[in-house]
Amino acid sequence: MKYMLIMRATDEAYAAFQDVDFDEILEAMGRFNDEMISAGVLVAAEGLDDAAEGVVVDFSSEPPVVTDGPYGETKELFGGFWILDVASKEEAVAWAKRAPMTGPGMKTEIRRVTSIDEFPQDNEWIQKERAWRESTGQR
């Protein structure tokens, strides 16, 4: 099963990290990623750019409204993710507890990534996606 570990933090937590040496952050994250690679569970990992550089597409109206970041009412921002291929939610939790994300306002959300096999296989859009995945070497 695949699980996404989502890095989340408050504005205050991000502000606190401004004082941490970037090389220390890279070292801690690199060590954690290397442990997951060695264990054979890491599928993907990415960090995200500053929220102020992002945009939001709000579908509350027609046409959708696009707004520049930062986001007005957000209490926590999504800062990056890992995707793990593990045997259970409990194993995903165990990895998340080891993530180098310490301090007030830092959280990791864990969500199972659904498989294409869980959708109706006779659906033409599922069939097209499966063909695209196979043509690009994805599973």
Q: How many domains does the chain have?
A: 1
**Cβ-based burial of 6 (10 A; exposed 0-12, middle 13-18, buried ≥19):** middle
* Domain that includes residue 89, residue range: 2-135
pTM of the model: 0.82
- Strand 77-85, strand 2-9: pairing: antiparallel
Q: What is the pLDDT along the chain (139 residues), one digit of tens a residue?
A: 999 999 988 888 888 888 888 888 889 999 999 999 999 999 999 988 887 788 888 899 999 988 887 665 667 788 899 999 999 999 999 999 999 887 888 899 999 999 889 999 999 999 999 999 999 988 7
CATH number reported for the structural domain that contains residue 81 in this entry: 3.30.70.1060
**Cβ-based burial of 5 (10 A; exposed 0-12, middle 13-18, buried ≥19):** buried
